[in-house]
Chain A
Amino acid sequence: MSSITAGKRKGSQEGKSGRTFQWISGIILTIGGLFFLLPFFWMMMSSFKPENEIVQIPPTLWPETFTLYNFQYLFENMNFGIYLRNTLIIVAFSFVGLLLNAAAGFGFAKYDFKGRNALFVLVLATMMIPSQVTMIPVYLILNTLGLTNTMTGIVLPGLVGAFGIFLFRQFMSTVPTELLEATRLDGASEYRIFLQIVLPISKPILAVQAILTFIAGWNSFLWPLIIANDEGLYTLSVGLSLLKGQYAANFGLQMAGATFMVAPVILLFTYFQKHIIENFSISGMK
């Protein structure tokens, strides 16, 4: 916001040179932006093309014969219905994880207990551990618990995350302590305070985290790939990488699978982008 008003002021002071600069940067960004969107556009257009048009040279950008055959094939012959169901189950579980993160964030933000700081440092330290190091031991741990090839095994390792806890803590520490005290005097338990006071107040951060959680769950790839041997547990990402291996030459099918994965996220993100970008601006850097 401030940049806009300042820009106007600058515009009136610098006049012409400022405006030329605007035009130049606008043109550069437009050209760059077109290149940024090109892969998406190419993907979506190709997904509606019949096979003979895909292999046609020179390539056509717009489909001459518009077909939904590729999408139909995915669901009828490629089990994409099952992959979709699994992905949605993972998304649903990740919302449970979101609530756990929120509770932990609240615990760290509003209580003074023994070992709080040390435990919080421990939480932050887990952000530094590369997934390659934990990949094999987590697999072995889940194997010992008998959880390989189960939905629980896929969901559990990624259920909570330090970054989410950190964001919730930052936000919830701004909730006035007097408000919590007043509710306590009215005889409410700590859990009611969390559920009925703190969570509703935290709606903005909760909403943003929910979108990010959805996107992360929807995109989940590595764990399902490692833990699931049974095709009945594959997610869309795993199914798509499988499709790429099996139908290497069938690009129409591959593009349909990719479009099916990407389109919901693009729609959701574009709709909520203002909140997501602001959340990053507020919490990401300060």
Chain B
Amino acid sequence: MKSFLNKRAPYIFIAPTLLLLILFSIVPIAVALVISFTDMDLGGLANMDRVGFIGFDNYAEVIQDPVFHKAIYNTLFYVVIGVPLVILFSLGIALLINLGTSRIFKVFRVVYYLPSVTNIVAVAVVWSYLYNPALGLFNYMLNSVGLPDVPWLTEPTVAKLSLILLALWKAIGLNMIIFIAALQGIPRSYYEAAQLDGANTWQQVTLITVPMLRFAIFFVSITTMIGWLQFFEEPFVMTDGGPLDGTLSVSLFIYQNGFQFNNFGYAAAGSFVLFICIIAVTLVQLRLQKNETDMT
């Protein structure tokens, strides 16, 4: 018995995790695909006989759903505005921190990373208060320098930008750490050679640092883009998709249809549309990255 167990050891080590991953990550893909072709709802949950196969009806319906269109538009808005901002700010801060030599710069690392580890619900609650039209700190600060109120969460486009601002605050830390790690991987000799040739700091940054960071920038842009495509907690806690579905994201659309309206089949179809978009975006980016490295 003992030798049997010993021989099987590697399988016993990986079995529990693998079973859990298969049960909760791999199998659900197949389940989602199957139910996206059915009219499963709360009634079907109790009694499987009431679930009917309806083919592509869910997909046809979701593609024509104006609310879904709005969710897609908003999600694209988040991606198009949010991703460049995250890259720009986290790279900029990483560069500034990395070039600093004093001890205080280690403190900055912690300060900028802090929002990344804190609870999203708590953060959303706090920012709702900051954005409050009457009591919030932001409007008070604007007023005190003579600027008018901003309708932070009450006007659809401004509300989207407000959520982006919050998500940016939360996303910078982790990406900054990734950039700092990449910056420290650049060989010092490159800079020394450039200095001998008389390059100033700006030239060193633009001609050595940024090109050497190409992989890190690619990595951050792809993970950030996938993250924004799945944007959920901020609109869920702060605006519940409002005003006028102005902040509704595709993820929130799926959640609402699945767990508030209990249309599991319909929500599953929506989730597959999102999944296909994410795969497409990833493949396009991989292709772009490949072309770029081919050229150099």
State which of A14, A137, A191 has its C-beta within 8 Å of the C-beta of B31: A137
Q: Confirm or deny: B59 has a beta carbon within 8 angstroms of a beta carbon on chain A.
A: no
By a CB distance below 8 angstroms, the chain B residues around A237 are 119-122
B258: chain A residues at CB < 8 Å are: 135-136, 139
Q: Which residues of B contact A156 (CB under 8 A)?
A: 20, 24
A57–B134 CA distance with the chains assembled, in angstroms: 9
- State whether the Cβ of B108 lies closer than 8 Å to any Cβ in chain A: yes
Is B140 interfacial (CB-CB < 8 Å)? Answer: yes
Contacts A33-B108, A215-B117, A285-B216 given: A140-B11 contact, CB under 8 Å?
A: no
Instruction: Give the residues in chain B near A3, CB-CB below 8 Å.
Output: 98-99, 101, 183-184
Question: Contacts A29-B93, A136-B268 given: A280-B181 contact, CB under 8 Å?
Answer: yes
- A103 contacts B16, CB within 8 Å? yes
A265 near B118: Cβ-Cβ < 8 Å: yes
CB within 8 Å of A: which of B109-140? 109-115, 117-123, 125-130, 132, 134-135, 137, 140
Give complex CA distance A43, B11 in Å. Answer: 49
Instruction: Compute how far the CA of A190 lies from the CA of B268 in the bound complex, rounded to whole angstroms.
Output: 43
Choose among A4, A122, A257 the residue that contacts B122 (Cβ–Cβ < 8 A): A257
- B residues less than 8 Å from A136 (CB atoms): 32, 35, 254, 258, 264, 267-268, 271
Chain A stretch 179-199: residues in CB contact (< 8 A) with chain B: 189-191, 194
**Nearest chain B CB to A29 CB, angstrom units:** 5
In the assembled complex, B18 has its CB within 8 A of some CB on chain A = yes
Contacts of B230 in A (CB 8 A): 130-132
Interface residues of A in 102-157 (CB under 8 A from B): 103-104, 106-108, 111, 113, 116, 119, 122-123, 126, 128-141, 143, 156-157
Given the complex, which residues of B lie within 8 Å of A101, measured CB to CB? 17
| Residues of chain A within 8 A of B108, CB atoms compared | 29, 33
Residue of A nearest to B126 (CB): A43
- Is the CB–CB distance between A140 and B31 below 8 Å? yes
In the complex, the answer to whether A277 meets B113 with C-beta atoms within 8 Å is yes
List A residues 242-286 near B (Cβ within 8 Å).
Answer: 243-244, 251, 254-255, 257-259, 261-262, 265-266, 269-270, 273, 277, 280-282, 284-286
Docked complex: B206-257 residues within 8 A CB-CB of A: 216, 219, 226, 229-230, 232-233, 236-237, 250-251, 254-255
The answer on a CB contact under 8 Å between A137 and B137 is no
Point out the residues of chain B lying under 8 angstroms from A93, CB to CB: none
Whether the Cβ atoms of A226 and B259 lie closer than 8 Å is yes
Check A141/B27 contact, CB under 8 A, given A29-B93, A119-B18, A136-B271: yes
The answer to the question of B28 belonging to the interface, with a C-beta cut-off of 8 Å to chain A, is yes
CB closest residue in chain A, given B258: A136
Count A/B pairs, Cβ under 8 Å: 301
- Residues of chain B contacted by A57 (CB below 8 angstroms): 134-135, 140
The number of chain B residues touching the other chain, given as a range, is 35 or more
The segment from B2-10, B61-69, B287-295 that touches chain A is B2-10
Residue of A nearest to B187 (CB): A2
Q: Are A221 and B120 in contact, CB atoms less than 8 angstroms apart?
A: yes
CB of A232 closer than 8 Å to a CB of B: no
Known: A25-B99, A103-B17. A33 touches B112 (CB 8 A): yes
Q: Are A240 and B125 in contact (CB under 8 A)?
A: yes
**Residues of chain A within 8 A of B114, CB atoms compared:** 36-37, 40, 266, 269-270
- Say yes or no: A108-B119 contact (C-beta < 8 A), given A241-B237, A280-B177: no
Is the Cβ of B184 less than 8 Å from the Cβ of A2? yes
**Chain B 37-52 interface 0/1 with A at a Cβ cutoff of 8 Å (1 = within):** 0000000010000000
The reply to whether B130 and A39 form a contact with Cβ atoms under 8 Å apart is: yes
Please tell me which one of the listed residues A25, A270, A285 contacts residue B219 in the complex, with CB atoms under 8 A apart: A285
| B76 partner residues in chain A, CB cutoff 8 A | none
> For residues 166 through 190 of chain B, which have their beta carbon under 8 Å from a beta carbon of chain A?
169, 174, 177-178, 180-185, 188
Contact of A262 among B13, B118, B132, B251 (CB under 8 A): B118
Closest chain A residue, CB of each to CB of B22: A122
Q: Decide if A55 touches B135 in the complex (CB within 8 Å).
A: yes
Among the listed A4, A141, A219, which residue makes an inter-chain contact with B24, where contact means beta carbons less than 8 Å apart?
A: A141
Contact A7 B99 (CB under 8 A): yes
- Residues of chain B within 8 A (CB-CB) of A177 are none
Cα distance, A222 to B140, chains bound together (Å): 33
**Most A Cβ at <10 Å: residue of B9, B134, B274:** B9
State whether A135 touches B201 (Cβ < 8 A).
no
For A277, the chain B residues whose CB sits under 8 A away are: 109-110, 113, 177
Judge whether A160 is part of the interface by a CB distance below 8 angstroms.
Answer: yes
Q: Is A52 an interface residue (CB 8 A)?
A: no
The answer on a CB contact under 8 Å between B188 and A2 is: yes
Chain A residues, CB < 8 A from B237: 241, 244
- With a cutoff of 8 Å between Cβ atoms, the chain B residues found around residue A191 in the complex are 5, 9
Known contacts A33-B112, A143-B45; 4 additional CB pairs below 8 A are A136-B35, A141-B23, A226-B259, A261-B122
B interface, CB within 8 angstroms of A: 2, 5-6, 9-14, 16-18, 20-29, 31-32, 35, 45, 93, 96-102, 104-105, 108-115, 117-123, 125-130, 132, 134-135, 137, 140, 144, 169, 174, 177-178, 180-185, 188, 191, 195, 200-201, 216, 219, 226, 229-230, 232-233, 236-237, 250-251, 254-255, 258-259, 264, 267-268, 271-272, 274-275, 278, 282
Q: List 10 A-B contacts (CB under 8 A).
A: A2-B188, A6-B188, A29-B96, A54-B135, A59-B140, A106-B13, A119-B18, A133-B272, A254-B129, A257-B125
